[in-house]
Amino acid sequence: MAQIRSLFPTLTGELPDGIRPDRAPAKAAAPSVTTPVVGEIPQFDQREQQHTKAAIGALGEKIQQRWTSESVDPFRRVFYPENRPFNSPLRSLLAVAEGPLNPKRIPVNDPAKMAAHIKEVAKFFGADLVGVCELKRHHVYSHRGLRIDARKNRWGEPIALDHRYAISLAHQMNHERMRYSPSFIDGAEVGFGYLESAKTATSLACYIRELGYPATAHFHVSERVLQVPIAVEAGLGELARNNCLITREFGPRQRLATVTTDLPLAVDRRADLGVQQLCEMCDKCAALCPSQCLPRGPKQVERGYLHWVADNDKCITYWNANREKWNDCARCITVCPLNRPPGAWMRFATWALRRGRLLRKLVLNVDDLFWNKRYHLKAGKGWLMYDRTTSAKKFESGQIHPNA
């Protein structure tokens, strides 16, 4: 009996103290077993993150030239405003990331009710998942390092962000389009996810300011925070081997944005879904990563927390390896056994995660059988005028648009 119990530990309903199996609202934050913090986590300097390193030449001249040049793909130019100031809706949202407060502040007597209300409002504005945590020092970058900071002469300024709470917002990305990674098709889906999450975050920040409380929206090109640790702390899911947040609902297939605020809110607890236990038995993302930058071995303590440590510079170097065909990559999302189309299998797989080693093994074996490497590499039917191999030549010869 004891043996059977050890194979299915959670069938007994016993969970470590303070850990809950799902994201039901909870009153107080609890320590996590999945990414234990074992020391002080130093603040990260935004100038050290890879998008910036590539842009300023810290990864070499070739990468800098490629990363800062315009893409042949019009979707890329629409979704990413960094390289030029027009035809990119994301840029206009910068104007409402911060803003004035309504001087008539509403009183908040019950932070739990306010948190429930804010979650509904966030979903109305378009979020698929919402969670709340306290904003910690290590969630915030130490110094400004976005390209927009250089343009505004604010490069390297220390970041002052002392809001009390962070609201984490997740947007599901389309499963079919992400399958094509790396190509312009998943690239467009990623860009669209950035735009959608920015719209939600800015709308929510504006709404909170209209209640009379400070609020700032953090999204691609405006962010001063690290999105993943906030999402983990806010109970959306777990940090996985592929360095992404994995949720019960969408696996790793979501984009994140955050609103920081002083509006009094009840916080959520971290979630332990069994994701890291699955990662310990699986290394598909690491094995199939084209740049081989994800680790295959065990977790390590680095920067004060226990996690799988990746070589992020290698990843963005691969993104820039062939700008004729792709602008970025997301293979570590698409190959993950928890990135499968929404439906019965995903419901079973995420249910099975916490139900012992045998069921986790079953999830991996079934995944190998039905969703193996060939599935991700075989030609799909394409999307709009793109297919998996669409390259600069097609754009240049005018073949890519319907009436050309």
Instruction: Give residues in contact with ligand B12 (CB under 6 A).
Output: 35, 37, 41, 44, 49-51, 190, 220, 223, 226-229, 232, 239, 242-245, 252, 254-256, 294, 303, 305, 307, 310, 312, 315-316, 328, 330, 332-333
Nearer to ligand SF4, 145 or 187 (CB): 187
Q: Count of residues binding ligand SF4 (CB under 6 A)?
A: 24
Is 359 an interacting residue with respect to ligand SF4 (CB under 6 A)? no
Range in contact with ligand SF4 (rule: CB under 6 A) among 36-44, 111-119, 336-344, 347-355: 336-344
The residue within the footprint of ligand SF4, chosen from 290, 351, 385, 391 (CB under 6 A), is 290
**Phi and psi angles of residue 258, each rounded to the nearest 5 degrees, phi first:** -140, 145
Cβ 281 vs Cβ 361: under 8 Å: yes
112 CB burial (10 A radius; 0-12, 13-18, 19+): middle
Q: Which of 54, 225, 236, 240 binds ligand SF4 (CB under 6 A)?
A: 240
Pick between residue 191 and residue 356 the one whose CB is nearest to ligand B12. Answer: 191
> Side chain identity at 158, as an amino acid letter?
P
- Give the C-alpha separation, 249 to 236, whole Å: 9
Element (H, E) at 216: strand 215-218
CB-nearer residue toward ligand B12: 250 or 371: 250
Q: How far is the CB of 100 from ligand B12 (least distance, A)?
A: 25
In this complex, which beta carbon is closest to ligand B12, that of residue 114 or of residue 168?
Answer: 168
Q: Which stretch binds ligand SF4 (CB under 6 A): 33-41, 160-168, 254-262, 289-297?
A: 289-297
Q: What is the 3 state secondary structure string of 180-197?
A: CCCCHHHHHHHHHHHHHH
- Nearest 10 degrees: CA dihedral of 136, 313, 258, 253? -120
How far is 106 from 115, CA to CA, in rounded Å?
14
Residue 41 contact partner, candidates ligand B12, ligand SF4, none, CB within 5 to 8 A by sort of partner? ligand B12
User: Taken in order 390, 314, 156, 215, is the CA torsion positive or negative?
Assistant: positive
Report the relative pairing of strands 305-307 and 245-247 from DSSP bridges.
unpaired
CB-CB contact of 226 with 153 (8 Å) = no
Of the candidate spans 80-88, 107-115, 118-126, 237-245, the one that interacts with ligand SF4 by CB under 6 A turns out to be: 237-245
336 binds, among ligand B12, ligand SF4, none (CB under 5 to 8 A by kind): ligand SF4
The tokens 């879904």 sit on which residue? 273
Cα–Cα distance for residue pair 267/118, rounded to 1 Å: 12
232 binds, among ligand B12, ligand SF4, none (CB under 5 to 8 A by kind): ligand B12
Contact 241, 297 (CB under 8 A): no
Q: Closer to ligand SF4 by CB, 105 or 296: give it.
A: 296
Question: Shortest gap between Cβ of 286 and ligand SF4 (angstroms)?
Answer: 7
Six-digit token string for 188: 């467009």
Judged by the rule CB under 6 A, the positions of this chain that interact with ligand SF4 are: 240-242, 278-279, 282-285, 289-291, 293-294, 315, 318, 329-332, 335-338
